[in-house]
Amino acid sequence: MPLTVDQLAVEAMQLPPASRAELAEKLVESLDFAESDEIQKLWVQEAIRRRDEVRSGKVKPIPGEEVLADVRRSVGR
């Protein structure tokens, strides 16, 4: 007979902290697949939208060096 969730939790709590963290990570990863596929699709759509804005001239890209210089100025470095 398989262990119940409560029994699994009791067993897991007896593991060293690093092992509990690894187990927690594996459990979370097992839940993320469907979500991550949807998130990936949304990011692809966003990337395409941004690409199209640049190509159409609606948005003007800013060189990375310029952006970094602005950030450094704003944080006083």
Instruction: Supply the Cα-derived Rg of the chain in whole angstroms.
Output: 23
Domain range for 65: 5-75
Give helix 5-13 / helix 17-56 axis angle, nearest 10°.
110
Q: pLDDT at position 32, please?
A: 63
Considering its fold, how many domains does the chain have in total?
Answer: 1
10-residue mean pLDDT series, the chain (77 residues): 92 94 88 75 94 95 94 89
Give the global pTM: 0.47
